[in-house]
């Protein structure tokens, strides 16, 4: 099936098997491998992207059903010559990862968490980030990074 996907502001035309998930289309067809495949079953959050500004799981989204939406991945947060997005910078400064595999999903989810207004307290951050697992258990530092980035995002 021929579709058009708008990713990070760029429209791409591609032909896909209807079974292709948005996750596989991003990684295998558009070579945007920042979005990670963890469980591929909606349980880990590694594939979190923004669709029209809302965080969703790319592994449970068919590419054919993503037509018409504005999709933002980790690659779309800051250009090559631009400073990092404040949430990326906060993860860096707080050392909010060990292996880093879940980090793109954590960052996309964290940005949405702040924008939704659910980053007011540590308890709220933990609740609203519960869809993003980190098997290195960097959770305390992830919470700290979100707490640090929150005012910067609110003023953006």
Partner 1 sequence: MRPFDYEPAGGTEAALAASARHAAPDAPPPQYLAGGTNLLDLMKIGVMHPPALINIGALRGAHGGIEADASGLRLGALAHMAEAAEHPAILSDYPAIAQSLQQAANQQLRNMATLAGNVLQRTRCNYFRDPSWDACNKRRPGSGCAAKEGVNRLLAVLGVSEACIASYPGDFANVLAAFGAEVGLASPEGGSRRIPFEDLHRLPGDTPQIETNLRPGELITDFHVPAGPWTGRSLYLKVRDRASFAFAVASAVVALDLAGGTVREARIGLGGLAAKPWRSHEAEAALRGRRLDESTAQEAAEAAFAGAVTHGENDFKPELGRRTLVRALLEAAEMEV
Cα–Cα separations (whole angstroms), residue 108 to 19, 49, 93, 128, 133: 24, 6, 17, 13, 13
Round to whole Å and give the CA distance between 132 and 94: 18
Residue 110's CB is within 10 A of a number of other CB atoms, namely 30
How far is Cα 68 from Cα 110, in angstroms, rounded to an integer? 24
Choose, by CB under 8 A, the member of 62, 70, 78, 152 that binds partner 1: 62
Q: Residue 45 interacts with partner 1 (CB under 8 A)? A: yes
Nearer to partner 1, 92 or 121 (CB): 121
Q: Is 127 in the site for partner 1 (CB under 8 A)?
A: yes
Binding mask of the shown chain, residues 67 to 96, with x at each position contacting partner 1 by CB under 8 A: ------------------------------
Applying CB under 8 A, which of residues 29, 33, 40, 101 lies at the interface with partner 1?
A: 40
Q: Does 109 bind partner 1 (CB under 8 A)?
A: yes
54 sits near partner 1 (criterion: CB under 8 A): yes
Assigned token pair, 120: 């007011």
Q: Return the number of the residue (53 or 95) whose C-beta is nearest partner 1.
A: 53
Q: For residue 24, what are the contacts with CB-CB under 8 A and spacing of at least 6?
A: 37, 63
Among the listed residues 37, 74, 128, 144, the single contact to partner 1 using CB under 8 A:
128
Helix ranges (H only) for the chain are 22-24, 86-94, 103-116, 122-128, 139-154
Number of residues that bind partner 1 (CB under 8 A): 29
Residues at the interface with partner 1 (CB under 8 A): 1, 17-19, 21, 40-42, 45, 48, 54-57, 60-62, 64-65, 109, 112-113, 116, 118, 126-128, 130-131
């Amino acid at each position: 099936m021929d579709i058009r996907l708008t990713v990070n502001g760029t429209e791409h035309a591609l032909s896909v098997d209807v079974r292709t998930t948005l996750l596989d289309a991003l990684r295998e067809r558009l070579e945007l491998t920042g979005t990670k495949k963890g469980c591929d079953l909606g349980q880990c959050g590694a594939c979190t992207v923004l669709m029209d500004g809302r965080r969703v799981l790319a592994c449970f989204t068919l590419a054919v059903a993503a037509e018409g939406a504005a999709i933002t991945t980790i690659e779309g947060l800051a250009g090559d010559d631009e400073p990092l997005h404040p949430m990326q910078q906060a993860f860096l400064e707080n050392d909010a990862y060990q292996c880093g595999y879940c980090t793109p999903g954590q960052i996309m989810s964290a940005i949405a968490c702040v924008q939704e207004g659910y980053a007011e307290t540590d308890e709220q951050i933990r609740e609203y980030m519960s869809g993003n697992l980190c098997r290195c258990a960097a959770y305390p530092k992830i919470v700290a990074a979100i707490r640090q980035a929150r005012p910067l995002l609110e003023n953006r």
